[in-house]
Structure 1
Amino acid sequence: MIGDLAGAAGHTPARLEGRLPLIGGLILIAAVLVGAFFSWRFVESERARELQQWQVRLGLVADSRAAAVEQWLDDRRGTLRDLVENASVQLYLTELSLARDGGGRAGGAGAESEYLANLLEVVAERDGYTAPVVGPRVNANVARVGQAGLGLTDADGNLLVATRDMPPMTTALREAMARAAGGEAAFVDIHENAAGNLSLGFVLPVFAVQESAAGSRVVGFAVGLRLLGDGFFRLLDQPGETAESAETFLVRKDGAMIVYLTPLRDGTPAMKRRLAADSADLAAARLVADRGGFTLTRRYDGTPVLATGRALAGAPWYLVRMIARDEALAAVEQRLDTILIVLFASIIGVAIAIFAVWRHGSSVRAHAMAGDYRAMAERLEEYSDFLRIVTDRQPTAIAVVDGEDRFTFANAGAAAGAGIGQEDMIGMRLRQVIGPVMARDIEETNAAVRGDGHARTVTRRIAAEENDDGSGERIVLREHRPLGESAQKRGRILIVEHDITELVVERERREQVMRDLVSTLVTLVDRRDPFSADQSRRVVEVAAAIATELEVDETTAQTIDIAARLMNLGKLLVPSNLLTKLGALDDDEKQLIRDSILQTGDLLAGLDFRLPVVETLREVQEHWDGTGYPNGREGERILIAARIIAVANAFVGMVSPRAYRSGMDFSTACDVLSANGGRRFDRRVVSALVYVLENRGGRERWAYFSEPPKLIAHLPE
């Protein structure tokens, strides 16, 4: 059979070979995905490069159109600049202003006004600051409204002289004058005039020829209004334009809206389209917010576009140049789609070829592997039979349950204990096989193991009435183990039950013999020292109460019980006349009695208690601060059992009468112990004793400790 096990190990490479198709398939899929990814990356890089080129093209057009518009504005502003820089105009305007205020000469004011009016008419005709008048030119009671003109005002904005068709002074003009009063040119933005036509204007300050000591340098303003005209809109047309969807227009932000200042390709007139400025996918809104740049968003009608923008100098306008995305990228998208299809087709073709070659090779191997699998199945059947024979020969009950506590395996021992066939147990629940009462404990332990994945060992006494076979009380040890990490997820638990009744009974018998021996030895000691009669039992009782209060483990509790009972065994080596001496003991005699505890440890050193009994007895005289003996141990280095016995022994010794003194009262003894806490004794142990006395009925229960032995009760205290 060992040879069969070794042979089974030889099939490990075969199992690995069986996984090769899966591994190869995964590698092939990974290669296809990697190839597809890099193909996509190549296409995307080409698309990004094309977008970069379009950004450059659109930017060149936008820069040229922006320069044309800025030049147009500068030329129109230059008309007024020439006027305000003309020395004659400055002089005449200063004199007219002084004459109107009464502070200058009045003579010749009419001639000067006529001169300025003629000058303004000539400049207006030359530079386009004229427009048809709305209304008849004949004398009639019908108001005639001018649309364009040039004018000069004083510093307060009062019109001094103007062309004959100069429009009236509007709020927008006066606001522009207020801005120009600071010495800089002001701009009247595009608006609809009274005739419904688009116009714009400029305001420039006129400075005095010689600054007055008392007045402002600005003595007036040159004002110009003109129609926008189709010539302005043609500035936005790109010479040689061939793209059908390309367009260039001007926008401005007006509060929460984007206003389209120029006509649009879809036929919308100038100033007739307004859209929300917070539209995230609106190209004009995005470019205004970013003060230019490049974006792939949507046109005013929702068409996806490539757009770029420029902020213009001299006006609160933004020039937007855009083209429909479909038209701009149509050729490159078709080319990139073709490249992508060819690359994908090549990758798939190579993958198919590799798969075909692999499939042919794997089909050849499959026939050989099928034979190996059949042989392996036969071997596995043999192993299964072998394992069943081995488990059935075990003296323990072995079973496996699933996540619902249904049996998936049971050996002969488990079946015999349940009184049912092995095959019949498979698929049945625990409570169906062994009953709900006995199954409850097992199911709870299984649930705990599934909860944290940690194995558990449980010892349980089964009463005679719970055994159906009438075998009397049984003691069983059950081990519950999860079957590996993956099995733990499915909740499978291996249960092994050992019947340890004979072992426990034998151990209890030995323990009883030990207790009887200890009692005999203690009785022998008590007979030699009648004043210390029952001291060992009292120390055991007090130490056990302290141990319970401190919640020590079972091993420590057993150690305390045995060591406390045997601690006075060393008094067998102390002369009896010293133990019964009625007078006070000198220091040497006291030390001899104290050392009897160490001698107890020496007497018991050769016995195997399977507990640290001897070590505990040798550390009872150690002090918490390290001043004790024999080894000068301190603090937590002293066994907890020794610390508890030391406090209990000191307490019993103080409250119990001796041949040479009477016993202390409990309160005085507690004060002495507390005073030595942290020096001789562990404060925690002393506190536990005080708590037992005050809150656990210790004073009442141990009150008899202060009574002298009956045979010497007649002695004075």
Structure 2
Amino acid sequence: MKSSIFKKSPSLVASILLALLLAMGIWLIFAYAAKERGRDLQQWQVYLGLIADSRYDAVDKWLEGQSGALRELSENGSLQLYLMQLSSREQQSQNGVEPAQLSYIRNLLFATAERTGFVAKSNLDSIRANLPSQADVGLMLLDQDGKLLLATAGARLDPVLANQAAKVLKSKQPAVQDLYLGASNQPIIGFLMPVFPLQVAKGDAKPIAVLVGVKRADEVLYPLLTRQIRTTQTDETLLVRREGDTAVYLSPLSDNSAPLKKRLSLDSPGLAAAFAIKHPGEFGQLRDYRGVEVLVTSRAFAQTPWVLVQKVDAKEALKESDAHQRFLLTGFMLAMLFIAAALVAAWRHGSSLRERHTAAQLRQKSHELKAQSALLHTITDNIEDFIYIVDKDQQFAYANKTLTAAWGLTPKDFIGKTLSSVLGPNVAQTIWTLADGALSENTPKQAAERLELRKGASGIYHSVAIPLQTGLQNSKNALVVSHDITALQADQARHELLMRQLLTTLMRAVDLHDPFTANHSSKTTQVALAIGKGMNLEKADLETLEMAANLANVGKLFVAKEVLTKTDSLTDEEQQALQKHVQYSVEILSGMEFPGPVLETIAQKQEYIDGSGYPKGLNGEHMLLTAKILGVANAFVAMLNARAYREGMGVEEVLDQLLSESKSRYDRQVVAALFNVAENHPEWIS
């Protein structure tokens, strides 16, 4: 019964098949566009994560520095001894004469304040405990009862600090007084450190005093959030914390909101700050305190209840991605529309031959085709892209108004003329090569070339040639869609420049973290590329080698600086910590897409051909050639340059050692290539 229905209604079957084809095509187009958007978001996740890590590290080091300054003063033996003597005296002074111990402590307190920045001004004057202070910056010394003994000029013991000091005396532990508005209505932060008696175990003794340091956040903390060079117009770094069911913004905002003044509910739909507090370290696309859509990631602090929020406006970040998606959707949808129209025309023509009333049906179908043609003309003539059809004789069968207007002609003037007569021989040759390839292989072809498709003006155009087969003459034509991507190419060039700048910044961060390996990555890259070229590596392998050499040591950012700069031999535990830098590098870069085996090359750079390397103990048969080259280049540069625990070696001495280890550690062919390259680079000796 089903077969009889198909025979009686072939148009129904054809319509169903065409609808299925269109539905599948539309689904594939949107799936591809979604994949492209996902890749762009992944790149921004990496970029925002690098900026957030950098600014988090600056703030965390600053917090540790403030506590460290107070800790150093609290462990001063003289301070502990004199405080013990003062606490044992029944009277602090007689006849108005101040005890010598108190005078010494005052001088020590003021000198520390001036050295560590706990001063409101350079001229320090002592004040009595019963005199009011005028600012919120300074150092204070409280006795074991929480009473003020000494304070620098400008320090003020307000109820908030007094309450926190009482907690420190009771808990015997250092504390940080979180940001709050001081007497001057400015955000301040306090650091409190207990002082214990001399030569008494801290666990058994009660504090004999408390050191309290106070600083204004707008002078020392907030600048750390904006100190680096901005690479976008709308990126912003914020500090927030959770108070009950609200998110409190601790730092100044771009809408001129003052610190600690703006509070928003954590239940606000899609609020970036709420997402950062609940899911620190994750990446998302939400709305900020202005209601603007942003890309955001975050980092949580261990010493304080703060969360660092790094964000950028989504409109700016995804501008290039949106333009690219529009181009993809427009180009592919037009291609589908033309293909569908061609299929409909072919089917109608074929079915008309099988009908009895051929003439009447042809007139009817001709009318329908004209209507469709008018619709297609209306669509194509209002699109900025150049759309045209070329036949096998290199003649225009169709051209939309956008193209014809660019040459001061009408669509009729193009029909029947050759490509060369209108566009010139050079442009015609480029377009016909693309169209002929599509017709010969019966598959779409695409290319990006600089063409003069506007009279007197050239640009970079992305052209797609799609083979079309007409039903009337059974001849093939090529549909060509040319999209001006000059601006997009420029944007991509700027994007690549930005990524290279980020790469340079990342290498600089590694150099700053380990001063004894400054410029190690750039030198290793230079040597590795020279070896690769000497071994006649393909261009793709050289690009993999260059990227891997530049990024190989990024994992050292997570190795303690004390291990990297230690002048003595490393312990087994320290050696294991140092070896983990390879794993850290791979983990940091695992979220990025590379055109070649960059991650595998980095993961194998410390492997040896005899299987004695790390982290997996691979032997030479299971190692990439790029990894073998990177391993030799890395060892060569490392031995040439001085380290914290040794002096640098000479070139000949290094080459001899590499040669001696070519049977156990390093590939003999790679070492031999290094020998040949070194002879042509006398500057490496210096």
TM-score (norm 2): 0.48
Whose radius of gyration is greater, 1 or 2? 1
TM-score, normalised to structure 1's length? 0.46
